[in-house]
């Protein structure tokens, strides 16, 4: 909303200024559920990109300086929010499925 209130259009990066890997994300998500991600995820080396940038970090300094914006959710909180949301969605889908409904959501069939 703050971005849209500016007199002149500008580009803003919304980021924490911290960097996390996909592995970090997996570890946090599965740890939150008391599970080991290695039991559920397999890594196929064929899909590694040799020219991929190893380290990416968003710079939100323009948003901070011009908009007074700063992140209000840290990485751990974001992981918890995302996992909780998906668990809630899975519970709702299970209720529908158990009631005999076709669980077709957003063009994706479940069950």
Number of Cβ atoms within 10 Å of the Cβ of 40: 10
Q: Are residues 57 and 90 in the same domain?
A: no
Q: Are residues 62 and 105 in the same domain?
A: no
Q: Are residues 40 and 82 in the same domain?
A: no
Long-range Cβ contact pairs of 35-43 (< 8 A, separation 24 or more): none
Q: Are residues 58 and 98 in the same domain?
A: no
Q: Are residues 99 and 62 in the same domain?
A: no
Q: Are residues 52 and 78 in the same domain?
A: no
Q: Are residues 64 and 90 in the same domain?
A: no
**Residue-level pLDDT, tens digit, the chain, 111 residues:** 888 888 998 999 999 989 999 999 999 999 999 999 999 999 998 988 888 887 889 999 999 999 999 999 999 999 999 999 999 998 988 888 888 887 665 555 555
Where in the sequence is the domain holding 83, given as residue range(s)? 74-111
Prediction pTM value: 0.74
């Amino acid at each position: 909303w703050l971005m849209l209130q500016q007199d002149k259009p500008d580009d803003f990066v919304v980021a924490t200024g911290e960097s996390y890997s996909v592995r970090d994300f997996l570890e946090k998500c599965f740890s939150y559920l008391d599970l080991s991600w290695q039991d559920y995820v397999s890594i196929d080396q064929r899909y590694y990109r040799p020219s991929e940038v190893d380290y990416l970090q968003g710079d939100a300094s323009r948003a901070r300086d011009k908009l007074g914006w700063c992140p209000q959710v840290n990485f751990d909180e974001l992981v918890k929010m995302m996992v909780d949301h998906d668990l809630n969605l899975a519970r709702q889908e299970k209720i529908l499925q158990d009631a005999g409904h076709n669980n077709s959501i957003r063009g994706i069939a479940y069950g």
